[in-house]
Amino acid sequence: MRPRLSVSAKVILLVLLPLCVQLAFLIEMACLQRGAEEELRQSVKAKKTTEALNSISGDVFDIASRFSTHEKIEEFAADDEQYQELWKRSRDHYAELKKLAADNAELYTIVLASERACSNLFALVHELKDVIGDTRPTAQLHRKMLWRKMRKEVKEILYVGLVQAAEKQKKAAQASMERQTELRELLQQSAVAMGIVNVVLALILAVYLTRSISRRLAILNDNTYRFASGVPLNPVLSGADEIARLDQTFHKMAEELDEATRKEREAQMLRKQMVAMITHDLRTPLSTLGNIMEFLTNGAHAQLDEKGRGYIDIGKRNVNRMSALVNDLLDIERIDAGQMELQRGKILLDESFDACAANLAPLAEAKGVALKFEPARFVVSGDEEKIDRVLVNLIANAIKFSPEGAQVNVSAAQQDGVVCVTVQDQGKGIPQDKLEDVFKIFHRVKDETSDEMPGSGLGLSICKSFVELHGGKIWVESAPGAGTKFIFTLPSA
């Protein structure tokens, strides 16, 4: 089944899903918190209602106690300020109680009935105050009737509604407190549950995601080793996520590289076949031409005038040049095929320097360049013919790129078990971005002010191959306008 989610989508899911769960828990906790606050509000309200009911009950008891005896009635009747204060306090308590009971129809009805009874009670008190000093028998009977009505109103106020309402509000406050405790416990439990669920969910998603990604990355990593080792790759990963697309791109790249490598190999083979064919087909006619030139030079079959002998000399030089080129090509092929062998021996560098000086003196003289060979009393281990070819190629190259009147210096020094040979010219130098290319096959250095210098582009490549066959290294140091140094190392004997 093809994965439908990308890696980035999976990562987003890993983050969002625990957040959604946490958000759900937070909403639940907010509801619980709101419930707890509501219960607290109801508890406070019930407590205030109870206090207001108790205050009214206290007012009624106060009134009842003040009219319990004849003496108290007379005392209270003489103090109108106490009556007014008690009446005002009672009205304030009822006003507060009606506000608290506004959303409770049953309690509000009880409060209104109690307020009417209390108003009747104060009316009776006021009437009683008027007849308290009357000694007539009819007045005494009237006072007794008023006392009975007052006791009835007190009972109506206290026992019909207020006491029961106060008890009910007290129980409601207690229930609200208990509910608050339950809600706080639920909040704590929800917080703990939210933490546990988030941790477990995050772990599950992380394990799933990392296993899914790591398994596919392991396949991709294995493909890199397989590609480097030339082993067939794993099947292309299915899906459309980033890893699958990367693996598909890697497979496509591997196929293209294989195709490019294959083409580079039919090309190398074709080049080898062409070189082999050319060298094979050229050696015989070149040998024949060389023999003919030699016969003509000796005069065995004909006598040539001076102009004819000049033409023959030109022909001999070109034949030798072509033969050297063919030999260089054959050497390159033998080196590439690993068939080049060294005839090792002990070589005195001074002797090699002398041979090169004698060989290249005509070329240097024709170019107007001086050759200077420093004494080199060092013995190296190697193939004398191939070391001489390296020196000849490097020195001839230095002469070719030196201006008239310049000097080519050849020197050697021993260090760390090897002998370093340096060929230095006073030419125009090589740009830094061209230094890495000078040893490539068929590469020819261009003069900064003119076209390419003549040559096959094989000399420096053969020098590099011969030096490396001896276990040495070769490199070039140069800068425009500062000349060029070719340095190579040989094992010391």
Output the pLDDT for position 448: 47
Mean pLDDT check: name the lowest of 206-220, 222-236, 368-382, 423-437.
Answer: 206-220
Q: Looking at the predicted structure, is the pLDDT value of residue 433 above 80?
A: no
Q: Looking at the predicted structure, is the pLDDT value of residue 452 above 50?
A: no
Q: What are phi and psi of 134, to 5 degrees?
A: -80, 125
If residue 426 lies in a helix (H) or strand (E), which one and from where to where? none
pLDDT tens digits along 353-374: 999 999 899 889 989 999 999 9
Q: Looking at the predicted structure, is the pLDDT value of residue 476 above 80?
A: yes
Please list the alpha-helical segments (H only) found in 101-241.
Answer: 105-131, 137-157, 163-229
Going by pLDDT thresholds of 50, 70 and 90, the confidence category of residue 279 is low
Q: Looking at the predicted structure, is the pLDDT value of residue 2 above 60?
A: no
Going by pLDDT thresholds of 50, 70 and 90, the confidence category of residue 390 is very high
Output the pLDDT for position 1: 43
Most confident of 73-77, 105-109, 174-178: 105-109
pTM given for the model: 0.45
Of 380, 365, 18, nearest in space to 202 by CA = 18
Mean pLDDT check: name the lowest of 145-149, 150-154, 196-200, 477-481.
Answer: 150-154
Going by pLDDT thresholds of 50, 70 and 90, the confidence category of residue 449 is very low
Kind of pairing, strands 370-373 and 407-415?
parallel
Q: Looking at the predicted structure, is the pLDDT value of residue 190 above 60?
A: yes
Give the integer Cα–Cα distance in Å for 137 and 135.
6
Task: Read off the pLDDT of each residue in 343-353 and give the average, rounded to a whole number.
Answer: 92
Task: Read off the pLDDT of each residue in 420-441 and give the average, rounded to a whole number.
Answer: 85
Q: Looking at the predicted structure, is the pLDDT value of residue 488 above 50?
A: yes
Task: Read off the pLDDT of each residue in 175-184 and give the average, rounded to a whole number.
Answer: 75
Structure tokens at 421: 């040979």
Output the pLDDT for position 72: 59
Please list the alpha-helical segments (H only) found in 337-383.
Answer: 349-367
Output the pLDDT for position 407: 93
Output the pLDDT for position 446: 59
Structure tokens at 156: 């109506």
Q: Looking at the predicted structure, is the pLDDT value of residue 51 above 70?
A: yes
Sign of the CA dihedral running 39, 40, 41, 44: positive
Average pLDDT of the chain to the nearest whole number: 78
Output the pLDDT for position 317: 75
Give the integer Cα–Cα distance in Å for 11 and 18.
12
Across-strand partners of 413?
420
